[in-house]
Structure 1
Amino acid sequence: MKETKKENRVKNREGKQPLSWFSGLLFSEDVYKRIGGYLCCGLLIFLLSWAIAYFFMGEGVLKNTLLVDKVFGIKGSSNIGAWWKTRLGENFKIFKWEFKTEDLFNTWGNILLVTVKNFLHHAVIALIFIFFLNRFKIGQFPLGLFYYLLYTILTGIVVGTNSYSYPPQGFTVLGALVTFLRFGLWVWFSYGLLIASSANWTWLKTSSFRDNSWQKSGRFWSWPVLHADEKEVLVFGLLFLL
């Protein structure tokens, strides 16, 4: 009885320690607790990276990098409107409404093109650096989590040094932070959802960085079995990429 009380006291003390609490969230079997752990730790790391970059690094350090300019680029095309104009004429009608062909397709065609480019960029990143890396686990850490850590730090530097390709929004000093809160936050959040939902898709695992003996935990090409909650989180993560 005394030992049981002592064990309970030890567990209570551990539960009150911030590191133990964070660890319990990060490696929980509950996917929603994992999300909470990723987001709480991620926001702290982002704010720290942003503060260091903002106060100690030069402006535009990460401009013209794939992190900012994306794999497929971030610009539209000036030829979309002209291409459709040669096929539909100067103007065209939809029911009783008449539109200027070049103006309409230059606007909405480019919106669609840039949206598709952004989605494909994030889809490639998710496929390689999240779904593929999460097939490997070191200790309790799926490798995709290390990418999320690196991405969070680099994003903090991008925002802190105003390295975006387009002008900052709002108050100039904190304009890049406003841009991140409007657009980049959703991508960062979706990566967290995708990593949390696929954290147990392990193919090979080892106990630590110093342990070279990787053990198989399943077949590489087998479609992972997802719990209902993990399926929901995976779907929402993909939707946020749009």
Structure 2
Amino acid sequence: MRVTSTQELPVPPSAATRPRRRLLLASASAALATPWLGGIAGAQPAAALVPTPRQTPGPYYPVDWTGDADGDLVRVTGTDAAAQGVVTHLRGRVLDAQGAPVAGAVVEIWQCDAFGRYRHPRDRQDGRDPGFQGRGRVQAAADGSYAFRTIRPVAYPGRTPHIHAAVAASGRAPLVTQFYVEGEPLNARDGLFNAVRDARQREALMLRLDRADAIETGALLAVRDIVLA
């Protein structure tokens, strides 16, 4: 927008026109000032995002991160077979409460395999899936994005399907939480899920699973941002 200076306004031919000139100047000033003042008066601070609620890490936080522990939990280096279960891509961003990306945050996930077994020495059940990595770790990109390739979480006695997650970022307290499958009937009976009373906080823990054939035939996709308080 080109701002007109007072030097470019017409010079009155006589003193009789001076009141009109003052009116023109006042009108011009008001026209220029109104959008600016309106922008300030109408400005609203960005609504803070709902921080991802904290949850227990459970008894099976991985104790061994050596070997293959990348973002692809479906393939284990040195193992020919792929993991049992429905391949699920978990993607999202790590953000602060104002929506700014938290670049470089370290995101970890862990979950049981398709048979309900964890990759953990305390889970001594037989029949663990050797093709499932069980845990994965990635670093968020400059835009806060992260991505995992895992399986659709399954239920085991006492728990609804869920994926554990932990996030560590410089200068922030670590976050440990769990993600749940939207529409899963067992959610209604899960104690940890139902401990979250606030509807917005519950929503922040939900994974909506959609078909993702464009990414991988037969796979699912869940997009879930993680918001650090």
TM-score (normalizing by structure 2): 0.24
Whichever of the two has the greater Rg, that structure is: 2
Please state which structure has a larger fraction of its residues in strand: 2
TM-score (normalizing by structure 1): 0.23
Comparing both chains, which one has the higher relative contact order based on Cα–Cα distances under 8 Å and sequence gaps of 6 or more?
2
